[in-house]
Chains A and B, each alone.
Chain A
Amino acid sequence: MTDTTTTLDQETRHQAAPGFERAEMPPAIRPATERDPLRARIEDFSFYYSNGFQAIKHVDMPILDRKITAIIGPSGCGKSTLLRSLNRMHDLYPGNRYEGKVILEPEGENLIGPDADPVLVRLRVGMVFQKPNPFPKSIYENVAAGLRVRGIKKRAVIDEAVESALRRAAIWDEVKDKLHGSAYDLSGGQQQRLCIARGLAPNPEILLLDEPTSALDPIATAKVEDLVQELSETVTIVIVTHNMQQASRISHRTAFMYLGEAMEFGETNQIFTNPRHPRTENYITGRYG
């Protein structure tokens, strides 16, 4: 699936949207210095696919601790590519290349540095995808999987962590009596919350959500949105969404990306009421540029 998406991204990214001609684009607006504590700093970050195509161009972005950061932008702008970079998902395909830094705070560890183990990075930076993708296993085993990767074997420890993750994902009451039933028997919305529980189980520092509600109905979407807001009290969240109302509802900071660049980053309220960059304004108001 990642392979297909990558190909589509590369095709669409070569062409600017109508009115978004590259030559007339003013320079990006750099993020202001944040006073709130950071969980991560993306610094002069670029990403190249194995064919040499530069999908992300010198992005600087602060990720606030225990806050929700939304990344918006037209298809092919690089928002999902950036998200996947944060937990080294591109390492699964040889030839892909990162430049710059993704510094995890307060440790100061560079997640894309040569010393960082991609598998361990993925445990610290969890990911939930657009379509719910539970493993073909029981509900219990789906949540326990990340713990087992971490080397945890004690049954009691795993039991406790599974329950805790399912509770944090607000699905415990719905599944506590069928933990060993198939995850596939759950509804789409329940499956997505199960995937969130799976991401939460290893107790990550950052949880990445790639359009987590685009395949869900409004009721399931509302549950996931409420859940994401509750979770932001304990875990840092970065969400990619095409739904601008969703970004304005749930996020604290919003980044607008275009053609691989972070054109504007700011408080969500400011971005949606008084954006500084004309491209941001044109995109969020649904105008040609």
Chain B
Amino acid sequence: MASHPHLLKSFDDGLEGLRRSFRRLGDMAADNVTQATVAYLAQDEARALEAINRDLDIDAAFEQVRAECFDVLLRFQPVARDLRLVMGIEHAVSNLERAGDHAKTIARHVISTAGPAKPQSQDRQIKDMAGLVSHTLSLSVTALVTQSTELAKQVLASDARIDAYKDAVFDAALASLKQDPGEAQAHVSRLFVATALERIGDHATNIAEEVLFLSRGVPPGATRTRSGLE
């Protein structure tokens, strides 16, 4: 039913513009996760600085989407599915902005780590983890823009894989710390990077929960399950 146009064409235009701006912000955030991780793994300071500066663009895009949300609320007073979409995007942009902050954290570890560290097995895991996290974040944005519960469920399913990557990086980094304490700063930095990536995955999960709210009208918390201590 939602595909039917509004009687007021400018309402459709407003919602479409909002979706477009949100998609753009999502692309920027997901891309910066990749760029920051590539810079980290290559210990490329110039690339890391680019990623850090791009966070300012992400912040500006975040403000723009929020302004568009207010605009649509003010001009059209949306209700029902339309209201849930605007509120969903308004919540989701905060997650994207925070994901951008975590990407910046990853890039900062290039600057704060003293010189290139010896390559470790967990670098491969970090690379794969970053690929999965960036893809999942993009998927969550697509799920919201297209209001696809199927894609949202894929995002939710990825969360366990992302957590498993983080655990693997942690185990390897802690083992390396014991074996090679001279590289402690680099090993600890890997822990922080894996944690940042895991948090970005959590933000993708939050966005996917918004999609379920959007489609069902059920608050996001209702889709979570208790799983003991984590």
Option from B1, B8, B77 in Cβ contact (under 8 Å) with A289: B1
Bound Cα distance A274, B81 (Å): 7
Bound Cα distance A286, B1 (Å): 12
Bound Cα distance A274, B217 (Å): 6
**Inter-chain contact B4/A19, CB cutoff 8 Å:** yes
Contacts of B81 in A (CB 8 A): 281, 285
Contacts of B77 in A (CB 8 A): 245
* Residue interface mask B115-128, A partner, CB < 8 A = 1: 00000000000000
Interface size on A, residues (CB 8 A): 18
Contacts of A248 in B (CB 8 A): 79
A15 at the interface (CB under 8 A from B): no
Bound Cα distance A272, B78 (Å): 9
Bound Cα distance A282, B217 (Å): 16
A288 at the interface (CB under 8 A from B): yes
Known: A281-B1, A282-B1. A273 touches B7 (CB 8 A): no
Instruction: Give the nearest-CB partner of B217 in chain A.
Output: A274
* Residue interface mask A271-289, B partner, CB < 8 A = 1: 0111100101110111111
Known: A273-B217, A274-B217. A287 touches B79 (CB 8 A): no
Known: A273-B217, A278-B1, A281-B1. A286 touches B80 (CB 8 A): no
Q: Is the interface of B mostly helix, strand, loop or mixed?
A: loop
B11 at the interface (CB under 8 A from A): yes
Known: A244-B79, A245-B77. A289 touches B6 (CB 8 A): no
**Inter-chain contact B6/A285, CB cutoff 8 Å:** yes
Option from A19, A245, A273, A289 in Cβ contact (under 8 Å) with B80: A273
Most B C-beta atoms less than 10 A away, residue of A278, A284, A289: A284
A255 to chain B, nearest CB (A): 16
Instruction: Give the nearest-CB partner of A275 in chain B.
Output: B80
Contacts of B8 in A (CB 8 A): 286
A241 to chain B, nearest CB (A): 14
Contacts of A289 in B (CB 8 A): 1, 4
Q: Is the interface of A mostly helix, strand, loop or mixed?
A: helix
Known: A245-B77, A248-B79. A287 touches B4 (CB 8 A): yes
Bound Cα distance A64, B59 (Å): 49
Option from A19, A272, A288 in Cβ contact (under 8 Å) with B79: A272
**Inter-chain contact A273/B84, CB cutoff 8 Å:** yes
Contacts of B5 in A (CB 8 A): 287-288
B18 to chain A, nearest CB (A): 15
Contacts of A278 in B (CB 8 A): 1
* Residue interface mask B195-207, A partner, CB < 8 A = 1: 0000000000000
A109 to chain B, nearest CB (A): 37
B70 to chain A, nearest CB (A): 17
B83 at the interface (CB under 8 A from A): yes
**Inter-chain contact B217/A285, CB cutoff 8 Å:** no
Contacts of B27 in A (CB 8 A): none
Most B C-beta atoms less than 10 A away, residue of A248, A280, A288: A288
**Inter-chain contact B6/A287, CB cutoff 8 Å:** yes
Bound Cα distance A248, B83 (Å): 13
**5 nearest interchain CB pairs?**
A274-B217, A278-B1, A287-B4, A272-B79, A288-B4
Can you show 13 pairs from A to B with CB atoms below 8 A apart? A272-B83, A273-B217, A278-B1, A281-B1, A282-B1, A284-B79, A284-B80, A285-B78, A286-B11, A287-B5, A287-B6, A288-B5, A288-B7
* Interface of B toward A, CB cutoff 8 Å: 1, 4-8, 11, 77-84, 217
* Interface of A toward B, CB cutoff 8 Å: 19, 244-245, 248, 272-275, 278, 280-282, 284-289
